[in-house]
A and B are shown apart, each in its own frame.
Chain A
Amino acid sequence: MAAHQSSEWRTVCEKFRLAQDLSEVESRKDPENNPFRSKYKARDLLKEIHCSLKKIQIEEEGEADSESRQMVDEGAGNECGKSCSGDSPAGLGAARLAVLQYYLGVNHIETEELSAGEQHLMNCLKLIDKCTTTRENVSLFIQARNQLGILWAGRDEIEKAQGFLEIAESMYLLYMREDGQPPLDLQDFFVLEGEELSQQEKTRSRFEMAYTHTLYYLAQVYKNLEQYERAGQYCHSTLQRQLEYKQFVPLEWAINAATLSQYYITKTRYMEARHCLAAASVIATLAGEIPSEAAAKESDAECEKREELLQKRSEIARCWIKYCLNLMQDAKKLLEDNIGELDLDRQEELKRARRNVEEEKEKGRKSAILFGSSDTFDSICSLEEKVSSMLPLDFEEARSIFLVGQSYVAQAKEYFAMDGHVTDHIEILQDHSALFKVLAFFEQDLERRCKMHKRRVDMLEPVCKDLNAQYYLLICRQLQFELAETYYEMMDLKLAVADKQDQPDVHTIKKFNNLCSSSMKYYQMFLDSIRSPEGKFPEKLEDDLLRPALVAKFRVARLQSKLISSNLATQLENLTHSLESYNFVVQYCEENPEAKNAVETELELSSEMVSLLPLKINRIRSKIASCN
């Protein structure tokens, strides 16, 4: 094209470059009171270019008699309504104008003039829609639609946004299938002949990036449309593409993958979750070595880097812990009977069912989610192999998952130490305790099971004692409740063991009573934490405390009646306390009828006990009377 060599064209190209620079670089330095100064300047330049282009085009059209116009006309029936081919001179001209419309559109959106921005983008689409999709306009096609997607989503018109983005998506797939040549970059529409075009590799990568954004925007659209499954899938694809085109920051990517694993966990898709986690761990190592403590002391930058690396790695470890924990807990849910014990028939059944699982199917599912370039693939796989993604069905399987979880607990605690990270540290301890708890479910030996619960007590009790409830009230309550329940569990187990032995000696009874008392002590601490500073129990419990508080009372009532004593007076006292506690539950629900729904079963039983316990109490009374 002759015009390309003209001085006019030269000016156009320079202006374009300047506009780019103003918009991308200069605008960052704009003052607070005039935040869009450079953007406005850029806009003016773009408008000028647009005028010049129009002029040049008219001139060209005049020069080249009706040749080009004819071409446009002839092309009308070319291909389902497309008036010209994208790579024809007319198509190129249209694309060039469309690029300007695109940049004007983006400029208006960035300066908060959305309607004008929309107009320009629609103009852009109109121009290229006349042409067939070719390497000249495919990138523009996708980017303009990306912008319109964002625009409409911002206006709360998600379906409209979805429409633009989904067309962009299918266009990319079509182009890659049918053509696949490296597309022309938007910048490359305004260069002088002889000037170097962007390198192919760069162009390709920018094009791919535009499509990655399409997927990312679709992920958000689906999320907003509450199609979470698809949203998750598109987040996953976004991550995959970032890795594939090496457009990622290792730590950031790793954290995102680890976070995605948590989404999969809640969906009980453990194979995907494990793959995300393994990839997260491997990619995180690409962020470099953790600077030594000595190096950290030397410089602030090293110190910050060390802090960041340690923190992120610990966070990934915490995601792993949740993986192990949920895997075991989900298995428990499947295997337990109606009182929370291992259902042996169910176990057999599931084991048999597992043998039948077609591994082929798994493999097919897996290939769709794979992360990794050739250099990381092997490390990711070998990390995956260290822990199963199948629900454990017996103690051995559960134990191996437990051990992996436990090793991540140790790793996570390194950074999240008690000193400095109280809340995080305790959350990790609670997970550790939960790991023991669910492992205990798989353990058939009652003594050993009891020991596992003892481990939970050992790790939580000291923390609970040291914590200032004024700052960590909620955590304190959680710990108190968990300790109370753990002691309760141990008491139950001791009872079962003693029942089996049929030989409860003084020692066992003492132990049993101690466990009862400890459990009651922590329930009581929990209940006391609800009191006002003056020590008054609230007349009306807050919603999130209602059930726990009444359940605590109910359990205390039960525990009080379980205490063993040969002394009748003590028996009487214990039962009287028990009655009082049952009565509390009943009374509270009478005064606050809305509480009834929250504790239906407990209330029913408490009412029964309130009417029946006096009978037992009277018996003891009369026994005492007859003894005297």
Chain B
Amino acid sequence: RQQRRTSAASLQCIINSKQPKEAPKNFTFDYSYWSHSSEEDPSFASQRKVYQDIGEEMLLHAFEGYNVCIFAYGQTGAGKSYTMMGKQDPGQQGIIPQMCEDLFRQTAENTDPDLSFSVEVSYMEIYCERVRDLLNPKSRGALRVREHPIMGPYVEDLSKMAVTNYSDIADLMDTGNKARTVAATNMNETSSRSHAVFTILFTQRRHDNMTSLDTEKVSKISLVDLAGSERADSSGAKGMRLKEGANINKSLTTLGKVISALADMHGSKKRRSDFIPYRDSVLTWLLRENLGGNSRTAMIAALSPADINYEETLSTLRYADRAKQIKCNAVINEDPNARLVRELKEEVNRLKELLLSQGLSNLITASGKYTHTHSTSDAPMEGVAPTSPTTHISKEEAAERLKETEKIIAELNETWEEKLRKTESIRQDREALLAEMGVSVKEDGGTVGVFSPKRTPHLVNLNEDPLMSECLIYYIKDGVTRVGQEDVDIRLTGQFIKELHCVFCSEVNENNEGESDHTKVTHCITYRNATVMLPENTVGEHNPQCHLPLPAKTL
């Protein structure tokens, strides 16, 4: 019996035998197989060969921890299911059974006691955008497809069967295939119009004896038997979304598709600046990450060599060709580098100057020595042209350059730390000025912000703008503190400030050395915590605040 299959081709050339004038069309793929003859044919590719080329590599990736996906596409009868599932007879098994067998063979060979494996499988069918569980007979109706931040895209309530050896998987696959057939018969539909997705969840668990911690590496192996590619529209079984050819869609129900394609044409590629509300098919959605993310994906295009299938075969090849270019839209949009580039260019220039001047300063040092020796010698030098090539710089010139160089170097070396130091000295100056006015300054230099010493009596300013209130603090020192416009300890300026506005007397309590507990206010009306404070009132230790109702501006 002949098996028909032509898998992804290294170079496929297709010629329309009905219209010989048409130019042959060429397509390039990674592998190309001929399986339409028998073993005797030297060009015949066996199931084993296909598995070795595609399956083995994929399994390796799964062991490495990648998600893996293999899907088969093509016209019904061209050999999709044969490639994926194959037959029970020896040598006729497809990729899925061979891969499962291989998986268990490799895990069985493991001798590392700290490494353990677990395998779970699920099997589902997508028909008319509805997902059906093929392994759980009790599951009824369509299952919901959802995404979870940790678990990724998943099918809600889809049963996952733990398996320990290949025969478990074989049984489940068999059950699933039967369920698929039964459902198809009951609902008067054919399996060629549904997608079947067989998923293996492969977990490698490593126990670390040192930390007695387990680390897990999970990879998802998705094996997809796509619906027949023929007349996909009329059957309602949608495959991946690909751009339309030159055909015109007849029905206005497809207007959305046309508009999306139109919008897509501009938005795609560089920057996803638009949103196209075109819902992906369930399948595309489930396999989204497989189409350009952290996974390894292989596509097998099954072709029929019969000339009657020319159109279908051509469209399958085109599809496969386009599928190669499928990428997720998730590109990285970086910010422009303009500012950084400018900054860096400046720095490069500074460094270059430094380099130059370093070279120069070496020269200058050399020439300095040279002139020095001459100046110590008694020989008259006037009018004698310097002989050394380094001496064509005059003394003055050299000195000037040296100065310049030093300036450049100094500037270059002015790192943040120095800038800080500079700032610090400016701050000290400012502080000194404030201190002169009687305003005290926080230890770390900042004068802005709410900062109230707890135990020392002090004055703070008030302002209508709460941000500017309590920005200034005036300590009341032991003994007499005089507040006013002139010749005082705390200098305030303003319309209502008298020359000697008020006087605070802070007496040191003998029990509490150094701390003032009584402050006498004399002379004028001030407000203590917003209450009118009359002369001779005292400010207590526990509330050592006195507000001066002055706009900060007046200070």
Binding site for B on A (CB under 8 A): 32, 149-150, 153-154, 156, 158, 161, 212-213, 216-217, 219-221, 223-224, 228, 231-232, 235, 238-239, 242, 252, 255-256, 258-260, 262-263, 265-267, 312, 315-316, 318-319, 321-322, 325-326, 329, 338-340, 418-423, 427, 463, 466-475, 477-478, 481, 485, 488-489, 492, 502-507, 509, 532-534, 544-545, 547-548, 551, 554-555, 558, 564-566, 571, 601-602, 605, 608-609, 612-613, 615-616, 619
Contact = CB atoms under 8 A, between A and B. Distances in A.
Interface residues of B, number: 83
A322 B147 contact: no
Interface in B311-369: 327-328, 330-345, 347-348, 351-352, 354-355, 358
B259 A263 contact: yes
B69 to A, nearest CB: 12
Given A256-B256, A259-B278, A467 B149 contact: yes
Contact of B248 (A153, A235, A548, A601): A153
Q: Identify whether the interface residues of A are mostly helix, strand, loop, or mixed.
A: helix
Nearest to A273: B274
Given A213-B250, A326-B274, 8 more contacts: A150-B250, A262-B267, A466-B150, A470-B67, A478-B330, A504-B423, A605-B345, A609-B351
Interface stretch (B90-98, B287-295, B377-385, B531-539): B287-295
B228 to A, nearest CB: 11
A554 B344 CA distance: 11
A217 B248 CA distance: 6
Interface string B141-156: 0000011111111000
A605 B348 contact: yes
Interface in B262-319: 262-263, 265-267, 273-278, 288-289, 292-294
A446 to B, nearest CB: 14
A319 B256 CA distance: 14
Nearest to B267: A266
Given A158-B246, A263-B263, A503-B423, A492 B339 contact: yes
A471 B275 contact: no
Given A474-B328, A616-B351, A149 B66 contact: no
A524 to B, nearest CB: 15
Contacts of A259: 256, 259-260, 263, 276-278
Contacts of B266: 228, 263, 266-267
Contacts of A612: 348, 351-352, 355
Query: Can you list the 10 inter-chain pairs with the closest CB atoms, starting with the nearest?
Result: A471-B152, A474-B330, A266-B266, A315-B277, A473-B294, A262-B274, A612-B351, A422-B147, A263-B263, A153-B248
A318 B252 contact: no
Nearest to A547: B334
B64 interface: yes
Contacts of A548: 332, 334
Given A235-B262, A475-B330, A153 B416 contact: no
A419 B246 CA distance: 40
B417 interface: yes
Contacts of B338: 338-340
A581 to B, nearest CB: 13
6 contacts: A32-B190, A262-B263, A339-B338, A468-B150, A474-B294, A566-B420
Contacts of A252: 253, 256
A158 B244 CA distance: 14
Contact of B252 (A216, A505, A506): A216
Contacts of A339: 338-339, 342
B355 A153 contact: no
Nearest to A219: B258
Contacts of B219: 470
A260 B334 contact: no
Interface of B: 64-67, 146-153, 190, 217-219, 245-250, 252-253, 255-256, 258-263, 265-267, 273-278, 288-289, 292-294, 327-328, 330-345, 347-348, 351-352, 354-355, 358, 413, 415-417, 419-420, 423, 426-427, 444-446
A318 B337 CA distance: 29
B420 A509 contact: yes
A473 B273 contact: no
B334 A470 contact: no
A619 to B, nearest CB: 7
Contacts of B247: 153-154
A150 B248 contact: yes
Contacts of B347: 609
B445 A505 contact: yes
Contacts of A466: 149-150
Nearest to A341: B339
- Which of B148, B255, B266, B444 counts the most A-chain CB atoms under 10 A from its CB? B255
A504 B419 contact: yes
Nearest to B265: A228
B426 A471 contact: no
Contacts of A506: 444
Nearest to B64: A533
A228 B262 contact: yes
B337 A601 contact: yes
A321 B64 CA distance: 40
B119 to A, nearest CB: 17
A613 B344 CA distance: 12
A32 B259 CA distance: 32
B249 A220 contact: yes
A326 B273 CA distance: 7
A262 B263 CA distance: 6
Contacts of A602: 337, 341
Contacts of B343: 558
Contacts of A468: 149-152
Contacts of B352: 608, 612
B317 to A, nearest CB: 16
Contacts of A319: 274-275, 277
Nearest to A109: B250
Given A235-B259, A468-B152, A502 B423 contact: yes
B133 to A, nearest CB: 18
Given A471-B152, A601-B337, A505 B259 contact: no
Contacts of B339: 339-340, 492
- Which of B64, B273, B413 counts the most A-chain CB atoms under 10 A from its CB? B273
A236 to B, nearest CB: 9
A424 to B, nearest CB: 8
A318 B444 CA distance: 50
A220 B258 contact: yes
Given A259-B263, A340-B336, A468-B150, A318 B277 contact: yes
Contacts of A220: 248-249, 258
Contacts of B267: 262, 266
Contact of B149 (A228, A321, A422, A571): A422
B190 to A, nearest CB: 6
A505 B446 contact: yes
Nearest to A513: B416
Given A153-B247, A213-B252, A420 B147 contact: yes
A212 B331 CA distance: 38
A502 B424 CA distance: 10
Contacts of B65: 470, 533
Contacts of B417: 564-566
B114 to A, nearest CB: 18
Contacts of B276: 259, 262
A36 B387 CA distance: 107
A258 B263 CA distance: 11
A475 to B, nearest CB: 6
Contacts of A481: 332, 334
A505 B444 contact: yes
B423 A558 contact: no
A224 B246 contact: yes
Nearest to B351: A612
A30 B343 CA distance: 73
Nearest to A254: B277
A571 B415 CA distance: 10
B206 to A, nearest CB: 12
